[in-house]
Amino acid sequence: MRKIALLGATGSIGRQALDVIDAHPELELAAAASGSQPVDGLAPFTQVGGDLTELLDRAQPDLVLNAVVGFAGLPATLWALERGVDLALANKESLVAAGGLALAAQERGGGRLLPVDSEHSAAFQCLEGHPPDSVDSLVITASGGPFRGRTRDELEDVTPAEALAHPTWNMGPKITVDSATLANKGLELIEAHFLFALPYDRIEVVVHPSSTVHALVRFRDGAAIAHLGYPDMRVPISYALTYPERAATPIPPLDLASGVTLEFHAPDLDTFPMLSLARDAGERGGTYPCAFNAANEVAVAAFLDGRLPFPAIADVVAEALSAVDGGPARDLEDLVEADAEARRLAERGMAVA
């Protein structure tokens, strides 16, 4: 039996994880948490909001599936990594904000860090069994979101409802808006840098509208290994929860002859500047990725509230990044401070605009 703590149980990933856990008798839901919605009776240990490490202390799981959205997921990520408890990580924001600290905690703890993000799960599988020096570069794909092909002017008046209509993935509101701005791919770029110890200039993002190829690894001998599948998060969730067994899922096998389209092109960085801002923050390192994430969380919340036009999300983040301190990320306190500073700057930027 594998005792699972599911954090973010009421969300898009959380609900799909419950289906995966239900389908596998060897997976036992030991603990469940949410931010505000009730989770009573879902698991022997439950908690709504507050410090989720208290729940983890009580439940003592074998694996934590962190599917909380945003920086709020960070303490749980560090809790699992520090203790050598396997971590299935959907909460990319925690690795973006605290990549260095998280990897150091994992080294001390010795547990597994299993990516749940579909691109990173795919890359993890393409890389498995290959020595690091055989790897040339990594490619992660982006659907391009609902506004692919539009110009910046055409984005001026888009509404939250339009941004929430994602063409290939059905996800929570924050990540769906992040997909529309390409901030999600920026977060994933930073996440990939930490997960796979690759420098930024060896990680490429390409737009691939059908979301069939999730990632591709180029090797030094000229071979490239790609991971394909229908866009369904139950696949990477199941892979992470049952690793290394690769348990069965109800997803149909990929049917190439029925007309799968493999089309790729470069992202439009002028219309979607969040990807370049993320790459820049990642390359600067220290607390810059944490600040990028925090400013983005504030701007996305304001857009969803109808307080900020869609293109201004990138303006608010760019401005906050140009004003932050950008010091080193030595400990959790540095990050909590950098997160708060970037939030303040982003709020101030919106108040002035």
What DSSP string runs through 68-98?
--SGGGHHHHHHHHHHT-EEEE--HHHHHHH
Q: How many residues does the chain have?
A: 353
Rule CB under 6 A: is residue 251 a binding residue for ligand NAP?
A: no
Instruction: Name the residue among 175, 187, 220, 234 with its Cα closest to residue 92.
Output: 187
Phi, psi of 227 (to 5 degrees): -115, 125
CA 111 to chain centre: 20
Q: Which is nearer to ligand NAP, 184 or 242 (CB)?
A: 184
Rule CB under 6 A: is residue 14 a binding residue for ligand NAP?
A: yes
- Compute the least distance from the CB of residue 84 to ligand NAP, in Å: 23
Rule CB under 6 A: is residue 308 a binding residue for ligand NAP?
A: no
Which position among 31, 64, 135, 171 is part of the footprint of ligand NAP (CB under 6 A)? Answer: 171
| Window contacting ligand NAP (CB under 6 A); options: 63-71, 143-151, 211-219, 337-345 | 63-71
Helix (H, G, I), strand (E, B) or coil at 45: strand
290 CB-near residues (< 8 Å, 6+ apart): 71, 96, 97, 98, 329, 335, 338, 339, 342
98 CB-near residues (< 8 Å, 6+ apart): 74, 77, 78, 290, 329, 332, 335
Instruction: Name the residue among 251, 232, 255, 254 with its Cα closest to residue 23.
Output: 251
Which position among 20, 27, 59, 90 is part of the footprint of ligand NAP (CB under 6 A)? Answer: 90
Cα end-to-end distance, the chain, whole Å: 54
Which position among 28, 35, 58, 103 is part of the footprint of ligand NAP (CB under 6 A)? Answer: 35
Rule CB under 6 A: is residue 172 a binding residue for ligand NAP?
A: yes
Cβ burial 100-115 (10 Å sphere, 16+ → b, else e): ebbbebbeebebbbbb
| Window contacting ligand NAP (CB under 6 A); options: 29-37, 95-103, 263-271, 313-321 | 29-37
Instruction: Name the residue among 248, 223, 219, 181 with its Cα closest to residue 26.
Output: 248
- The number of residues that bind ligand NAP (CB under 6 A) is 30
CA angle 24, 195, 220 (to 5 degrees): 110
Rule CB under 6 A: is residue 75 a binding residue for ligand NAP?
A: no
- Compute the least distance from the CB of residue 8 to ligand NAP, in Å: 3
Which position among 4, 5, 6, 13 is part of the footprint of ligand NAP (CB under 6 A)? Answer: 13
The sign of the dihedral angle between the CA atoms of 339, 343, 349, 350 is positive
Which position among 5, 17, 32, 33 is part of the footprint of ligand NAP (CB under 6 A)? Answer: 33
- Compute the least distance from the CB of residue 328 to ligand NAP, in Å: 25
Rule CB under 6 A: is residue 12 a binding residue for ligand NAP?
A: yes
Interface positions, 207-246, toward ligand NAP (CB under 6 A): 233
When CB distances to ligand NAP are compared, the closest residue is 11
Phi, psi of 317 (to 5 degrees): -70, -45
Rule CB under 6 A: is residue 78 a binding residue for ligand NAP?
A: no
Rule CB under 6 A: is residue 37 a binding residue for ligand NAP?
A: yes
- Compute the least distance from the CB of residue 94 to ligand NAP, in Å: 8
- For residue 23, give the H/E element and its range: helix 12-23
Tokens read off for 128: 């498995």
Per-residue contact flags (x/-) with ligand NAP for residues 113 to 132, judged by CB under 6 A = ----x---------------
Rule CB under 6 A: is residue 92 a binding residue for ligand NAP?
A: yes
Rule CB under 6 A: is residue 96 a binding residue for ligand NAP?
A: no
Per-residue contact flags (x/-) with ligand NAP for residues 257 to 296, judged by CB under 6 A = ----------------------------------------
Applying CB under 6 A, which residues contact ligand NAP? 8-14, 33-37, 49, 52, 67-69, 72, 90-93, 117, 169, 171-175, 233
